[in-house]
Amino acid sequence: MLSQKQAEEAIVSSYDETSAENDCGGGGKEEEKAEDQPIFSISNALWHGGSAWDAWFSCASNQVAQVLLTLPYSFSQLGLLSGIVFQIFYGLIGSWTAYLISVLYLEYRSRKEKEGASFKNHVIQWFEVLDGLLGPYWKAAGLAFNCTFLLFGSVIQLIACASNIYYINDHLDKRTWTYIFGACCATTVFIPSFHNYRIWSFLGLGMTTYTAWYMTVAALVHGQAEDVQHSGPKKLVLYFTGATNILYTFGGHAVTVEIMHAMWKPQKFKYIYLLATLYVFTLTIPSASAVYWAFGDQLLNHSNAFSLLPKSAWRDAAVVLMLIHQFITFGFACTPLYFVWEKVIGMHDTKSICLRALARLPVVIPIWFLAIIFPFFGPINSAVGALLVSFTVYIIPALAHMLTYRKAAARKNAAEKPPPFMPSWAAMYAINSFIVIWVFVVGFGFGGWASVTNFVRQVDTFGLFAKCYQCKPAAAAHLPPPHH
Domain-located, residue 8:
no
Give per-residue pLDDT as tens, 255-272: 888 888 888 888 889 889
Q: What is the pLDDT of residues 408-449, one digit of tens each?
A: 999 999 988 888 888 889 999 999 999 999 999 999 999 889
Query: Is 329 within the bounds of a domain?
Result: yes
CB 357 within 8 A of CB 191: no
Q: What is the predicted pLDDT for the residue at 331?
A: 84
Does residue 198 lie in a domain region?
Answer: yes
Give the angle subtended at the CA of 246 by the CAs of 193 and 127, to the nearest 5°. Answer: 40
Q: What is the CATH number of the domain that holds 182?
A: 1.10.4160
pTM higher than the cut 0.85: no
Residue 470 pLDDT grade (very low, low, confident, very high; cuts 50, 70, 90): low
| 357 within some domain | yes
Is 15 domain-assigned?
A: no
pLDDT given at position 307: 86
- Is 28 within a domain? no
Portion of the chain with pLDDT greater than 90, in percent? 33
Q: What confidence tens digit (pLDDT) does each residue in 270-297 have?
A: 889 999 999 999 999 999 999 999 999 9
- Mean pLDDT, the chain, whole residue set: 81
- Establish if 35 belongs to a structural domain: no
What share of the chain has pLDDT > 70, as a percent? 81
Q: Exposed (0-12), middle (13-18) or buried (19+): which is 189, by Cβ within 10 Å? A: buried
Domain range for residue 145? 55-115+124-462
pLDDT of residue 475: 41
Query: Structural domain tally of the chain?
Result: 1
* pLDDT, position 426: 92
Is residue 36 very low, low, confident or very high in pLDDT (cuts 50, 70, 90)? very low
pLDDT of 14 strictly over 60: no
Domain contains 31: no
Higher pLDDT, 232 or 90: 90
Position 21 scores a pLDDT of 39
- What is residue 11's predicted lDDT score, i.e. its pLDDT? 41
pLDDT tens digits for range 353-401: 888 888 898 998 888 888 887 766 556 767 777 888 899 989 999 999 9
Among 74-78, 173-177, 347-351, 459-463, the range scoring the smallest mean pLDDT is 459-463
pLDDT of the residue at 45? 56
pLDDT given for residue 39 in this prediction: 45
Winning range, highest mean pLDDT, from 136-140, 236-240, 419-423: 136-140
Most confident of 18-27, 91-100, 263-272, 459-468: 91-100
Q: How confident is the model at residue 66 (pLDDT cuts 50, 70, 90)?
A: confident
